[in-house]
Structure 1
Amino acid sequence: MGSRLELPPRLVDWSILGAVCFAVATGLLGLVSGRTGDAWVFVTHGIGGLSLVLLLFWKLRRVRHRVTSRAAWDRYTPFSILLGAVAIAALATGVYWTFGGRFGIGPWTGLFVHMALGVLVVPLLLIHLRGRFRAPSTDDFAGRRTALSGVAVVGFGALTWRLQRGANRLFGLAGADHRFTGSREDGSGEGNAFPVTSWVADDPDPIDPDDWQLRVGGRVERELAFDGGALDSDAGRRAVLDCTSGWYSTHDWQGIRIGDLLDSAEPTDEAQWISFRSVTGYRWSLPIEEARDALLATHVDGERLSHGHGFPLRLVAPGRRGFQWVKWVESVEVRRKRDMSEWVAIFVSGFDEASADRATDRR
Structure 2
Amino acid sequence: MPRRLVNLFLLACTATLIATGVVPWLLPETVALPLYTVHRISGVALLLALVWKYAIVRASLRRRLRSPHADHTLLVAVTASATLVFALASGVAWTTGLVSFDRPIPYSTLNLHVFAGALLLPLVLVHSLQRWERRPAFGRLVGRRAALRLFALGAATAVTAVALDLIDPLRRFSGSRHAGSFTGNEFPLTIWRFDTVPLIDAAAWRLVVSGSVAAPGALRLADLDRMPERELDAVIDCTGGWWSEQRWRGVSLSDVIAASAPTSSASRATVTSVTGHAWSFDLDEVGDVLLATHVGDEPLSAGHGYPLRLVAPGRRGFQWIKWVVRIEVS
Residue type matched to 2:239 in 1?
A: T
- How far, CA to CA, are the matches of 1:270 and 1:105 in structure 2? 51
Structure 1 residue 243, shift from structure 2 partner = 0.1
Give aligned pairs, total. Answer: 322
Counterparts of 1:112-127 in structure 2 under 5 Å?
112-127=111-126
Question: Contact 2:197–2:302 at 8 Å: present in 1 too?
Answer: no
Tell me how far 1:144 sits from its aligned partner: 2.7
AA aligned to 1:21 is A
**Structure 2 match to 1:133:** 132
1: CA distance between counterparts of 2:28 and 2:111? 17
Q: Where in structure 2 are there 5+ consecutive unaligned residues?
A: none
- Matched to 1:48, the amino acid is S
Partner of 1:226 in structure 2? 219
Q: Which amino acid in the other structure matches residue 99 of structure 2?
A: R
* 1:111 matched to 2:121: no
What amino acid maps onto 2:77 in structure 1? S
**3-state SS of 1:179 partner:** coil
How far the C-alpha of 1:276 sits from its partner, in A, is: 0.3
Q: Describe the SS at the equivalent of 1:176.
A: coil
Corresponding residue number in structure 2 for 1:99: 96
Q: How does 1:1-363 map to 2 (within 5 A)?
A: 6=1, 8-33=2-27, 35-36=29-30, 38-67=32-61, 70-72=65-67, 74-103=71-100, 104=103, 106-136=105-135, 137-166=137-166, 168=167, 175-232=168-225, 234-335=229-330
Root-mean-square deviation (Å): 2.0
Q: Distance in 2 between matches of 1:318 and 1:205?
A: 24
Distance in structure 1 (CA, Å) of the matches to 2:142 and 2:31: 38
Instruction: Work out whether residues 255 and 296 of structure 1, in 8 Å CA contact, stay in contact via their aligned partners in 2.
Output: yes
SS at match of 1:298: strand
Q: Deviations over 1:41-72 (max 9, x none)?
A: 11110100111113222112122133357324
Matched to 1:239, the amino acid is A
Give the C-alpha shift of residue 100 in structure 1. 1.7
Contact 1:48 1:154 in 2 (8 A): no
1:65 is aligned with what amino acid? A
Q: Distance in 1 between matches of 2:194 and 2:114?
A: 19
| C-alpha distance in structure 2 between counterparts of 1:140 and 1:19, whole Å | 21
Q: Which moved more, 1:68-77 or 1:128-137?
A: 68-77
How much does 1:195 deviate?
1.0
Describe the shift of the 1:178–1:156 C-alpha distance in structure 2 as closer, same or farther (beyond 3 A). Answer: same
What letter corresponds to residue 45 of structure 2 in structure 1? S
**In structure 1, C-alpha distance between the alignment counterparts of 2:206 and 2:32, rounded to whole Å:** 36
Kept in 2: contact 1:186–1:195 (CA 8 A) = yes
Give the 3-state SS of the residue equivalent to 1:135 in structure 2.
coil
Shift of 1:107: 4.1
Q: Deviations over 1:235-260 (max 9, x none)?
A: 11110000001000100000111121
* Alignment-mate amino acid for residue 122 of structure 1: L
Counterpart Cα distance in 2 of 1:284 and 1:207: 21
In structure 1, how many angstroms separate the alpha carbons of the residues matched to 2:257 and 2:130? 57
Q: Which residue identity lines up with residue 188 of structure 1 in the other structure?
A: S
Aligned-partner Cα distance in 1 for 2:232–2:198? 28
Relative to the length of structure 1, the TM-score reads 0.83
Contact 1:100 1:176 in 2 (8 A): no
Q: C-alpha distance in 1, partners of 2:288/2:217?
A: 19
More displaced stretch, 140-149 vs 251-260: 140-149
Q: Which amino acid aligns with 2:305?
A: G
Cα pair 1:10 1:140 within 8 Å, conserved: no
